[in-house]
Structure 1
Amino acid sequence: MSDFKKLSEYVEKGNRNEAKKLTQELLAAGHPPLKIVEEGLVPGMSAIGEKFKNNQVFVPEMLIAARAMKECMAILEPLLVKAGIKPKYTAVIGTVQGDL
């Protein structure tokens, strides 16, 4: 199994410590930060998102996976900024007044 696949699985399962460790190992091995995001982190979040859509997991599992990705992004984001890589999208999240 490739390291990117492992990283994807760590994110999907919310294994923050292993995900951070592997992110640092991939950087040390010379992999570009954007490749780590696109081939490791995003597929993990996509997989957990698909499971959520199919009612196989629920909000807590999504949040745990998101925390794992966020911690990895904390490592990668300064490197992405330094390389001049800009975000592709901006997400806006909100609720209807009185919904919560």
Structure 2
Amino acid sequence: MIYCTNKYLTKKTMKSYESTLKLFAKYMKEDKNIYSPLKVKTKDIKQYLEFTKTKGKYSYVIDINSTRSNNPSARRDFGKPVSIWTVNSYLRNIKVFFHG
């Protein structure tokens, strides 16, 4: 995030990067038992993107505490398919992290 600040990215862009990376890190830890970015392989990223496509909107969250204030299950689109645009956005954000 320091890199993003130094590049004068907008708050919206930085929030998008941060959210994407937190979800990605959670998946790597919980599903892959990977705690270091140095251990992430291309196949892990591809599997995460596939997971993202199939999980459904708002069904995978960074922190369970956020569901108390955001109440994602009350959303009309909860559990609906994640759009290809969202998946591509996640991929772009992850690429920036690894290739910044």
Q: TM-score, length-normalised on structure 1?
A: 0.30
Indicate the structure whose relative CO is greater, using CA pairs within 8 Å and at least 6 residues apart: 1
Tell me which structure has the larger Cα radius of gyration. Answer: 1
Q: TM-score, length-normalised on structure 2?
A: 0.30
